[in-house]
A and B are shown apart, each in its own frame.
Chain A
Amino acid sequence: MAKEKEQRQPMALVSAWAPALALGWLIPGGGHFLLKRPGRGALLLVSVTSMFLCGLMMRGAMFQPATGDLLTTLINTGGFIGDLCSGILYLLSVWLGYNQADMAGHVHDYGTKFLVTAGLLNVLAMVDAFEIAAGRKD
């Protein structure tokens, strides 16, 4: 316990990691580009964007926050947050009218999952950018 406390590093300044985190949310891999990790940033950008575009082309649905019973709230609000985490991809697709109602069919269902997963993968990329900016990772 004492060793864990000794090994714990002090929290880095917000100004050190906030720009990387914000840019990482807005543009997938953007945080890595800002931190001069262009190779990893490019891989993240291509992967997250491809997954999001595949979801759109499969006519996946965008979640809207909804309340009701616990499961409805959890699925819709969680899905909305997942979609929102894709940053500019989500904002552009909503502004340009590419979001659409939920439809039956396995391709549309996969599309919806692709859209949410793209956002969740971007969260992983943001956490990685935070760790690099905070000096916890090389």
Chain B
Amino acid sequence: MPKMNLSHFEAAFLFSLFTSIVLGVVTKRTDRDRLHYGLYTFACFLAALFGLGWVMYLGHG
């Protein structure tokens, strides 16, 4: 089994991607809504990722 060495950002990015796809597929009733919700969730994950990253960076001084 090959070993993956990912940074925090890469791991969180992959986590966001896979989770958004599943959330998009299972929550809505039309394909259009599923696509929109998947993209929206992914954008929210990334916004939280960058937002919390900056909060931690500024919090550390």
Interface residues in chain A, defined as those with a beta carbon under 8 Å from any beta carbon in chain B:
40, 43-44, 46-48, 50-51, 54, 56-59, 98, 106-107, 110-111, 113-114, 117-118, 121, 124-125, 127-128, 137-138
Contact = CB atoms under 8 A, between A and B. Distances in A.
B22 A121 contact: yes
Given A47-B18, A106-B8, A124 B3 contact: no
A100 B25 CA distance: 32
> Would you call the interface of chain B mostly helix, strand, loop, or mixed?
helix
13 contacts: A43-B22, A56-B1, A58-B4, A59-B3, A107-B11, A110-B8, A111-B4, A114-B11, A114-B15, A117-B18, A117-B19, A124-B26, A127-B26
Nearest to A106: B8
A128 to B, nearest CB: 4
A49 to B, nearest CB: 9
Contacts of B22: 43-44, 47-48, 121, 124-125
Given A47-B18, A124-B26, A57 B2 contact: yes
Nearest to A124: B26
Tell me the interface secondary structure of chain A in the complex: helix
Interface string B1-41: 11111101001001100110111011001000000000000
Interface of B: 1-6, 8, 11, 14-15, 18-19, 21-23, 25-26, 29
Q: Which residue, of B2, B11, B22, has the highest number of chain A Cβ atoms within 10 A?
A: B22
Contact of A121 (B1, B5, B14, B19): B19
Nearest to B29: A138
Contact of B1 (A40, A98, A110, A125): A98
